Amino acid sequence: MKAAKFTEDLRKLSADELNAKLKELKEELFNLRFQHAINQLDNPQKIVEVKKNIARVMTVLSEKNA
Mean pLDDT per 10-residue interval, the chain, length 66 residues: 86 95 98 96 95 97 90
Helices (H) and strands (E) in the chain, counts: 3, 0
For the chain, the structural domain boundaries read: 2-65
Q: What pLDDT does residue 1 have?
A: 57
Statement: the pTM of the whole predicted model exceeds 0.95: no
- Pick from 1, 2, 19: which is nearest to 60 by CA? 19
Q: What pLDDT does residue 66 have?
A: 80
Q: What pLDDT does residue 3 have?
A: 84
Q: What pLDDT does residue 65 have?
A: 87
Q: What pLDDT does residue 49 have?
A: 96
Tell me the CATH class for 2-65. mainly alpha
